[in-house]
Amino acid sequence: MAFRFLAVPSHRLVEHPQSLPVDERLEPDLPPVHEAVERALSGAEFRDMRAKDRLRALLQGDKPPKLGAPEAGFGASAVFAQPPQDLPALLRLADELEGLARREAGERALVWKCGDCGARYAVPVALVRQVSIRCERCGTPVELNATRSLGEESLIDPFQGAVNDSRRELAAFFREAMARGWPVLVAEDRRVTPPPPQA
Ligand SMILES: [Zn+2]
């Protein structure tokens, strides 16, 4: 299920089928990879419930969401968190997301290139010793000297990087919404499936 978070001031909430205001809203700047955003929330809890289960219950549960949609292509919105009563739970969720992003940040590695064939060698920073290895491809000795490395890079894969970016962005968004006292809303993204035929 693809979804979208946003926050608007309480006094500007409208019922579906009206649309939520666009001039006054807060939205996290999330990567366009929906799977990364969904993964970002896995392992995080909100009010003793897995955050993803809460989203599903709000958007696909017995009581359909009633608030306006963020824009065309989205379902009606539901309140995910309401200040001030949900403030502590949402701040805890923000902490949890940042903690997960830190834990899964990936190791830093130093990178070298074989002078002959250009094969790349990345060694986690903690394991770097000043040794000479034989290039796997051409047999030329490669000097793993920290001062002669091509630089540092993260061993993290791009998908995990997007997951962690989503976590940090969501955490900042939740904090900002609570600081403003705005309810955090969520709506289902229906753009991935074809819209129903027009009557
Ligand atoms: Zn080589």
User: How far is ligand 1, taken at its centre, from the CA of residue 136, in Å?
Assistant: 7
Q: Say if residue 153's pLDDT is above 90.
A: no
Q: Say if residue 117's pLDDT is above 70.
A: yes
Task: Report pLDDT digits (tens) over 32-42.
Answer: 888 999 999 99
As a whole number, mean pLDDT of residues 9-13 equals 97
Surrounding ion ligand 1 within 5 Å at CB are 114, 116-117, 119, 135, 137-138, 140
Which pLDDT belongs to residue 107? Answer: 81
User: How far is ligand 1, taken at its centre, from the CA of residue 122, in Å?
Assistant: 14
Which pLDDT belongs to residue 126? Answer: 84
Task: Report pLDDT digits (tens) over 55-87.
Answer: 999 999 999 999 999 999 999 999 999 999 999
What is the token pair recorded at 163? 């997951």
User: How far is ligand 1, taken at its centre, from the CA of residue 134, in Å?
Assistant: 8
User: How far is ligand 1, taken at its centre, from the CA of residue 143, in Å?
Assistant: 11
Q: What is the rounded distance in angstroms from the CA atom of residue 132 to the CA atom of residue 109?
A: 17
Q: Which range (6-15, 116-125, 174-183) has the least confidence?
A: 116-125
User: How far is ligand 1, taken at its centre, from the CA of residue 121, in Å?
Assistant: 10
Q: What is the rounded distance in angstroms from the CA atom of residue 147 to the CA atom of residue 143?
A: 10
Q: Say if residue 127's pLDDT is above 70.
A: yes
As a whole number, mean pLDDT of residues 3-8 equals 96
Which is more confident, 198 or 187? 187
pTM of the model: 0.77
Q: State CA 36 to chain mean position distance.
A: 6
Q: What is the rounded distance in angstroms from the CA atom of residue 53 to the CA atom of residue 88?
A: 19
Q: Say if residue 172's pLDDT is above 90.
A: yes
Which pLDDT belongs to residue 197? Answer: 64
Q: Say if residue 194's pLDDT is above 80.
A: no
As a whole number, mean pLDDT of residues 120-129 equals 88
What is the token pair recorded at 96? 């949890």
Q: What is the rounded distance in angstroms from the CA atom of residue 167 to the CA atom of residue 176?
A: 14
User: How far is ligand 1, taken at its centre, from the CA of residue 140, in Å?
Assistant: 5
Q: Say if residue 109's pLDDT is above 60.
A: yes
User: How far is ligand 1, taken at its centre, from the CA of residue 155, in Å?
Assistant: 21
Find where tokens 């834990």 sit. Answer: 103
